[in-house]
């Protein structure tokens, strides 16, 4: 499992997905580098793919330094 430090604390893929989703998730893939900078603070952004429900797959992007985060939902 690929744990990472986000906003000063170690998180699992599931916890990272929950931070961005604001709710619990069913399953999450390993955390990856997103190769982009945070639009708010310029910090490193990481991504995680997860399933908030049986019928949906979402990719979340989260800054490792500040509260910014977003998903690929339209």
List, for residues 6-54, the tens digit of each pLDDT value. 999 999 999 999 999 999 999 999 999 999 999 999 999 999 999 999 9
Cβ-contact 45, 65 below 8 angstroms: no
pTM: 0.91
Q: Report the pLDDT value the prediction gives residue 53, as an integer from 0 to 100.
A: 93
Pairing state of beta strands 44-53 and 56-63? antiparallel
Q: Report the pLDDT value the prediction gives residue 2, as an integer from 0 to 100.
A: 81
Q: Report the pLDDT value the prediction gives residue 70, as an integer from 0 to 100.
A: 96
Exposure on the CB side of residue 22, measured as CA atoms within 13 A: 5
Q: Which among 26, 22, 17 has a CA at the least distance from the CA of 52? A: 26
pLDDT surpasses 60 at 1: no
Cβ-contact 33, 24 below 8 angstroms: no
Rounded to whole angstroms, the Cα distance separating 54 from 62 reads 23
């Amino acid at each position: 499992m690929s744990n990472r430090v986000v906003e000063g604390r170690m998180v699992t893929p599931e916890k990272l997905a929950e931070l961005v989703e604001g709710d619990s998730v069913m399953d999450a893939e390993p955390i990856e580098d997103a190769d982009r900078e945070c639009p708010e603070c310029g910090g490193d952004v990481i991504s995680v793919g997860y399933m908030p429900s049986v019928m949906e797959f979402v990719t979340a992007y989260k800054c490792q330094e500040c509260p910014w985060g977003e998903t690929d939902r339209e």
